[in-house]
A = this chain, B = another copy of it.
Amino acid sequence: MITKNVRSTIASHLMLKKGDKVLVAVSGGVDSVVLLDILGRLSTEYSLSLIIAHLDHRLRGEESSEDARFVAKLAEQYGLPLIGESIDVRSIAEERKVGIEEAARFVRLRFLRKAADDAGATKIAIGHTANDLAETMLFNLIRGAGMTGLAGIKPVNAPFIRPLIEISRSEIVSYANEHGLSWREDRSNADMAFTRNRIRHQIVPALSELNPDVIGALLRTSEIVREEQDAFFELLERPWQEALKIEAEEGKICLNRAYVAHVSIGIRRALLRRALERVRGDLRGIGKVHIDSLCQLIASARAHGEIHLPGLLAQVQGGELVLISRYSRPETVAPQEVPLG
Q: Chain A residues in contact with chain B, CB under 8 A?
A: 141-147, 149-150, 195, 198-199, 202-203, 206-207, 209-211, 214, 216-221, 223-225, 227-228, 230-232, 234-236, 239, 264, 266-267, 269-270, 287-288
- Per assembly, the copies of the chain total 2
A241 CB, nearest partner CB in chain B, Å: 13
CB <8 Å contact, A146 and B221: yes
Assuming the A-B contacts A150-B150, A232-B231, A235-B232, are A221 and B144 also in contact, with contact meaning beta carbons closer than 8 angstroms in the complex?
yes
CB < 8 Å neighbour of A142 from B217, B236, B239, B269? B217
Which one of A231, A239, A288 has the greatest number of beta carbons of chain B within 10 Å?
A: A231
Chain B positions within 8 Å of A206 at CB level: 198, 202-203, 206
User: CA of A198 to CA of B203 in the docked complex: distance in angstroms?
Assistant: 12
CB <8 Å contact, A143 and B211: yes
Assuming the A-B contacts A142-B211, A206-B202, A210-B195, are A270 and B228 also in contact, with contact meaning beta carbons closer than 8 angstroms in the complex?
yes
Chain B positions within 8 Å of A236 at CB level: 231, 235
Chain B positions within 8 Å of A223 at CB level: 288
Which residue of B is nearest A145, CB measured?
B221
Chain B positions within 8 Å of A203 at CB level: 203, 206-207, 210
A291 CB, nearest partner CB in chain B, Å: 9
What's the dominant secondary structure at chain A's contact region? helix
User: CA of A144 to CA of B134 in the docked complex: distance in angstroms?
Assistant: 11
CB <8 Å contact, B217 and A147: no
Chain B positions within 8 Å of A288 at CB level: 220, 223-224
Which residue of B is nearest A292, CB measured?
B12
CB <8 Å contact, B210 and A147: no
Chain B positions within 8 Å of A231 at CB level: 232, 236, 264, 266-267, 269-270
CB <8 Å contact, A221 and B141: yes
User: CA of A21 to CA of B207 in the docked complex: distance in angstroms?
Assistant: 42
Which residue of B is nearest A12, CB measured?
B292
Assuming the A-B contacts A239-B235, A288-B224, are A210 and B142 also in contact, with contact meaning beta carbons closer than 8 angstroms in the complex?
yes
CB < 8 Å neighbour of A144 from B145, B146, B220, B228? B220
CB <8 Å contact, B142 and A225: no
CB <8 Å contact, A199 and B210: yes
CB < 8 Å neighbour of A267 from B209, B234, B270? B234
A103 CB, nearest partner CB in chain B, Å: 22
CB <8 Å contact, A234 and B266: yes
* 7 smallest beta-carbon distances between A and B, as pairs: A144-B217, A231-B266, A235-B235, A230-B266, A232-B232, A146-B224, A144-B220
CB <8 Å contact, A234 and B264: yes
Which residue of B is nearest A271, CB measured?
B231
User: CA of A269 to CA of B225 in the docked complex: distance in angstroms?
Assistant: 12
What are 27 A-B contacts defined by CB distance under 8 Å?
Answer: A141-B141, A143-B211, A144-B219, A145-B221, A146-B225, A147-B224, A147-B225, A198-B206, A198-B210, A199-B210, A202-B206, A203-B203, A203-B207, A206-B206, A220-B287, A220-B288, A228-B232, A231-B236, A231-B264, A231-B266, A231-B269, A231-B270, A232-B232, A232-B235, A234-B267, A235-B236, A235-B239
